[in-house]
Amino acid sequence: MDYPPEITTRIKEARSKFIAMALTYFLGVYNDNFFKQAAMLLAVAAGHSGLQGRATVLFSLPFILFSAYAGWMADKYPKRNVVIGVKFLELAAMIIGAVGLVTLNWTCMVTMVGLMGLQSTIFGPALNGSIPELYPDLYVTKANGILKLITTAAILLGIALAGISLDQNWIATSIPFGRILVASIVITVSILGVFASFGVHKHYPAGKTIYPFPWAGPFNSIKDIIAVSKDRLLMIAIMGDAFFYFIASLAVITINTYGIVQLEFSRTTTSLLSVALLVGVCVGSLAAAKMTSVGNWTRVMPTSAMGMGAGLALSGFVPWLPDSAQSIYLFSSLILAGTSGGLFLIPLTSFIQVRPPAAEKGRIISASNFCAFSGILLSGKIFEWLDALIQPSLIMGILGISGMLAGILFFIIIKREGHRA
């Protein structure tokens, strides 16, 4: 797309600032997913698959309890200061998690997951609110597509290397070498992330925060969602975002049990199943950056939701296929689901960033996070319940049907509201 000269100049000026922010985000996302995947693989292998659901709930809880405070901070203070502070919190969390990995102390590992949830709660509004500060509205969708590609690559790398690292045995040690390797990596990457955060651009808030400190926490978040509901289009976007994170979280948790327990794959192959899903997200994010904009996201929302559902539903048929065909079929269906997911998510994220007034972006993004992580928390509880009752393949099938029904529902809502592009 060709932009006016003044917009092109602004995009070029923002490039170095964007790189520093993207690197900081990349390292944090990599570390978070690398650790969580390693911990989940160890839990499933030890017969504690239900721990995945509890860890998901604990990671989500800070978003529900503290999102209102995080949004206020992002609107009140320079976002760079917030980012640097939470990177030090990440380092403390990783040290606790590393001790848990080495000693196989589940309490330490779950505590680390909770602290990373708190870190992400504070980090999210500061990061997402920075995109519209750096770029003009016309470029926000493309910037989000690029950032999603970068962060999805971090997730991919983290999930893929977790299983591979745990399977390493370079030297003989009393504690399995793979656990020592994972612990060393998470601390090293966290230290690099602290250094990278100092390169983030210091942009002062657009004006004084026009709303008081949200002492009531989650009740303020609920009030913000009620206020947002007056903007029907923004509310549809926030609900779509929450739906995406609910179904994606439940799918990722299920994939670990699906691979290791039901299909009897190795930890490395099981990690690569999640990688396939995220490779699709990368493809979908790039497609969204080229095909969509802040103004036409409703065109792709229903179709991409049905595409997510179709991919997940197809993945549930794998146990009935010949062993020789299972891997390629499963990887292909997960890539389809991920591609549709990227195409679904990026336009919604961009609209949620651009729509609010400059002085309230942190507040609205935090309210959106509150909804998204309420969905993720719910996914953790639902997984605990379903895991005790049915096979993972059936859970994937249920998710698939849910995605396709959601696509139909989104189509009806958008048509009724008259928001066709």
Instruction: Report how far residue 95's alpha carbon sits from residue 108's, in angstroms, rounded to the nearest whole number.
Output: 10
pLDDT above 50 for 405: yes
* Cβ density class 128-159: b for 16+ within 10 Å, e for less: bbbbbbbbbebbbbbbbbbbbbbbbbbbbbbb
pLDDT at 293: 73
Predicted local confidence at residue 419, as pLDDT: 46
Checking if the pLDDT of 96 tops 70, the result is yes
Asked whether the predicted pLDDT for residue 137 surpasses 80, the reply is: no
* 3-state class (DSSP) for residue 230: coil
Query: Would you place residue 180 in the very low, low, confident or very high pLDDT band (cuts 50, 70, 90)?
Result: very high
What mean pLDDT is predicted for residues 102-124?
Answer: 87
Average pLDDT estimate for 369-390: 88
In terms of phi and psi (left: phi > 0; alpha: psi -120 to 50; beta: otherwise), the region of 24 is: alpha
pLDDT computed for residue 15 by the predictor: 74
Tokens of 312: 């997940």
- Residue 418 is predicted with a pLDDT of 65
Architecture in CATH for domain 16-199+220-417: Up-down Bundle (1.20)
Q: Are 273 and 334 in contact (CB under 8 A)?
A: yes
Query: The pTM is what?
Result: 0.76
Taking only the tens place, the pLDDT of each residue in 152-173 is: 788 778 877 888 898 888 988 8
Rounded to whole angstroms, the Cα distance separating 394 from 337 reads 16
Cα(178)–Cα(400) distance, integer angstroms:
35
Q: Is the pLDDT assigned to residue 421 strictly greater than 50? A: no
**What are the sequence ranges of the domains in the chain?**
16-199+220-417
* pLDDT at res. 208: 53
Who has greater pLDDT, 10 or 192? 192
**Residue 88 is encoded by which pair of tokens?**
């030090």
The predicted-structure confidence for 331-348, as pLDDT tens digits, reads as follows 999 999 999 998 998 888
